Structure 1
Amino acid sequence: MNISGNTIFIPGATSGIGLALAIALRERGNEIIIGGRRTELLDRITAENPGMHAYRIDTSDPESIATVSRQVIAEHPEVNVLIPMAGIMRAEDWTRADGFLETAEQIVTTNVLGPVRLIAAFIEQLQNRPDATIVTVSSGLAFAPLQITPTYNASKAAIHMLSESIRLQLRGTSVRVLELEPPSVRTDLMPGQAESDFAMPLEDFIDEVMHLIESQPDATEIQVENVKFLRYGEARGDYDTVVATLNQLDPHGH
């Protein structure tokens, strides 16, 4: 992916990694279009960042995705990069029948069906551009599980394999697939995460991501150093230790 000269749509960019990424990409000479559910946040962000465009979109709602995607394409026919950022992460208790189903369904709808529907809405537009990119957003937890968030882990594993698969199908087209794999980053994705010593500072994460995109324009995965402990545990042969460390267990799982 080229670091500049793009027209980029980022649904899910009103806070956290999405917003920080939108601002960083704008500073590098890209036209940025953000999307989110809260109009007041969209208005504030565009006021603070003149020239940035915003659309109200609910990525858990297929009708909203279809309608807004058509509008974005009609009003910004140069759009050539799609970054489906919107995602939710919630703790679940799978030991109780009433402890997880509704939450799990919400996570799958937002984290899996949202990106799938967005890609479906934009795939013809992207293939009509001479140089286009889909940036999917998985997680280090796609490769090692955090025990309190089983459906989130599974949703990000699905995004990883989706990225691998559609990259194969899109070979020979103008569309590249780039997978962003964040570690834990200091955002409000989960309660207490913004203050976590384990989580990576947001500014440091974005700076490293920008450097990787710029220095590795042909990369298929964007992996900051902090995520490699999770990403390559199985390949290194220390997967059990990774899982134990992540969940603060001893090597036998206690």
Structure 2
Amino acid sequence: MKPLGNTILVTGGGSGIGRELARRWHDMGNTVIVAGRTLDSLEETTDGRENLHAMPLDVGDAADIARFAQDVVASHPDLNVLVNNAGIMRYEDITGPRDLADAAATIETNLLGPIRLTDALVAHLKTRDDAAIINVTSGLAFVPMPKAATYSATKAAIHSYTVSLRAKLEGQVEVIEIAPPAVQTELTPGQSTREGYMPLDAFIDETMAGFAKDETPAEVLTQNVLFLRNAEAEGRFDAALDMTRQF
């Protein structure tokens, strides 16, 4: 991915990782659109930055994705980078019958949302120079957290989908995965101050260093996530699962 001169769409840009990635890319010399459900939060992201724009989008709503895709291409025809970052994480007890509303919402937002938005924009992206799709997954794509089983499953599915997308779009659109470790954001209540989680600024610094390489790697990873990312390959899967099940 080229470092500047892009027009980048970041979903989930009203807080956390999405907000800080959007600001960094903007400050490097890119035009950035942040999308999300809450316009007030998006406008906090864009405040004081001339080429950072807010557009409302509910990635859990198929009809809204279709509406948004038409609007964003019409208002930003130079769009060449899609960042599927929006997501929700709900803790759940999967040991007995329950209300599956949280599980359904997680699948709609974290899995079907990126698939639908990619589907809506991929034809446009294929017409643009230096086009890229960046999917934000998680270390939990590789070793699940049992109390967030559906979240972990959606991230594993998006990792797999990203591999397939990269193979099918080779030579047309660059496909990149960001797999964060546990980061201090408000993805779950109290997470922004949770001890042992990676500070958000440190995560963004290390992630942007990955994008600064002469050739962007297929997976942009921080050191903190390698314990999970490489657990199976290094024969440590059971030990890693013992760790995640304690959270």
Q: TM-score, normalised by structure 2?
A: 0.97
CA distance in 2, matches of 1:137, 1:218: 15
Residue 71 of structure 1: how far off its partner (Å): 0.9
Q: Specify the alignment match of 1:75 in structure 2.
A: 75
Identity across matched positions, percent: 42
Cα deviation 1:15-66 (Å, max 9, x = unaligned): 0000010001111111001111112222333333233111111111111111
Aligned residues of 2:179 and 2:220 also touching (Cα < 8 A) = yes
Residue 216 of structure 1: how far off its partner (Å): 4.9
Cα deviation 1:127-173 (Å, max 9, x = unaligned): 00121000001100000111110000000000000000011111132
Alignment partner of 1:212 is 2:213: no
CA distance change for structure 1 residues 245 and 44 in 2, over 3 Å: closer, same or farther? closer
The one of 169, 174, 179 aligned to 1:181: 179
Cα deviation 1:189-234 (Å, max 9, x = unaligned): 0122111112100000000011111015331000100000000011
Give the 3-state SS of the residue equivalent to 2:146 in structure 1.
Answer: coil
CA distance in 2, matches of 1:39, 1:182: 25
Aligned residues of 2:88 and 2:109 also touching (Cα < 8 A) = yes
Alignment partner of 1:200 is 2:198: yes
For 1:29, the aligned partner's letter is: G
RMSD: 1.3
Alignment of 1:57-136 (within 5 A): 57-99=57-99, 101-136=100-135
More divergent stretch after superposition (15-24 vs 2-11): 2-11
CA distance in 1, matches of 2:176, 2:198: 21
- Name stretches of at least 5 consecutive residues in structure 2 with no aligned partner: none
CA distance in 2, matches of 1:85, 1:216: 24
CA distance in 2, matches of 1:26, 1:43: 14
For 1:179, the aligned partner's letter is: E
For 1:245, the aligned partner's letter is: M
TM superposition outliers: structure 1 runs of 4+ over 4 Å: none
For 1:13, the aligned partner's letter is: G
For 1:91, the aligned partner's letter is: Y
CA distance in 1, matches of 2:24, 2:36: 18
For 1:74, the aligned partner's letter is: A
Aligned residues of 2:23 and 2:45 also touching (Cα < 8 A) = no
For 1:163, the aligned partner's letter is: T
For 1:183, the aligned partner's letter is: P
Give the 3-state SS of the residue equivalent to 1:115 in structure 2.
Answer: helix
CA distance in 2, matches of 1:43, 1:183: 27
Give the 3-state SS of the residue equivalent to 2:212 in structure 1.
Answer: helix
For 1:162, the aligned partner's letter is: Y
Aligned residues of 2:9 and 2:35 also touching (Cα < 8 A) = yes
For 2:163, the aligned partner's letter is: E
Q: Specify the alignment match of 2:37 in structure 1.
A: 37
Q: TM-score, normalised by structure 1?
A: 0.94
CA distance in 1, matches of 2:11, 2:239: 36
CA distance change for structure 1 residues 44 and 218 in 2, over 3 Å: closer, same or farther? closer
Aligned residues of 2:26 and 2:51 also touching (Cα < 8 A) = no
Q: Specify the alignment match of 1:252 in structure 2.
A: none
CA distance in 2, matches of 1:31, 1:161: 29
Residue 115 of structure 1: how far off its partner (Å): 0.2
For 1:171, the aligned partner's letter is: E
